[in-house]
Amino acid sequence: MKHRLKTELQTVIDRQKFLIILDNLETRHYTLWKGFWTVVNYLRLKGIIAMKYASTLTEDEAAMLKAVMSSNVSARLRSRAHCVILSAKRYSIREITDILEVNRRTISSWIDAWEISGFEGLCDKPRSGRPTKLTSREKKMALKLIGEHPKSFKKVMNTLTERTGKTVSVKTLKRLVNSSRMVQSPTKRG
């Protein structure tokens, strides 16, 4: 196998063929992957293959990405903005992976999305699925009712139906409670 790997690498002329070999080796022979990176880094130093970085940021782009990182938007968007900033500062994908603890392919796709679509490429796309039944106001009302009657979800369900005209299941109420616990800050026990 090592001889085949060496032969394939010696015959590499263009970057595309090398990247195809790289992907095939990654999926078929993960054990060779770590040693393979030494060869990859050597080829990068020789200029045979190029490192992937985000293009240099303008002052406006850098300011916008820093604002996104420091604002209270979604954690995903903050991570993506941080990734682009690090990449523009010439951090390698491997270094960004270590910092953000995200898969290298994900980092690569974020950089590609930035290069193609700019800031819009970093935002989440609309996802399929059913929209939530309850509005945020109704969810707060449901949580308040659950707080008043924690052992009787059926009573909460009936009261909520009377007040809102919407029917929800006990499972929906339990999911609501679980999601609200994840959002709340942890309490100290002791």
| Residue 52 domain-assigned (yes or no) | no
| Residue 65 domain-assigned (yes or no) | yes
Q: What value does the mean pLDDT take over residues 142-164?
A: 90
| Residue 105 domain-assigned (yes or no) | yes
Assess whether 112 and 149 both reside in one domain: no
| Residue 21 domain-assigned (yes or no) | yes
Distance from C-alpha of 154 to C-alpha of 185, rounded to nearest angstrom? 28
Q: Quote the number of domains for the chain.
A: 3
Assess whether 35 and 82 both reside in one domain: no
Domain range holding 41? Answer: 2-45
Q: What value does the mean pLDDT take over residues 91-101?
A: 90
Assess whether 16 and 63 both reside in one domain: no
How many other CB atoms are found less than 10 A from the CB of residue 159? 16
| Residue 189 domain-assigned (yes or no) | no
pLDDT of residue 133: 83
Distance from C-alpha of 111 to C-alpha of 22, rounded to nearest angstrom? 19
pLDDT digits (tens, 9 = 90+) for 109-140: 999 899 888 888 888 888 788 888 888 899 99
Assess whether 115 and 66 both reside in one domain: yes
Structure-model confidence comparison of residues 81 and 46, the more confident one: 81
Closest to 33 measured CA to CA, from 41, 83, 102:
41
| Residue 54 domain-assigned (yes or no) | no
pLDDT digits (tens, 9 = 90+) for 30-76: 445 556 666 766 666 666 666 778 888 889 999 999 999 888 668 88
pTM of the model: 0.49
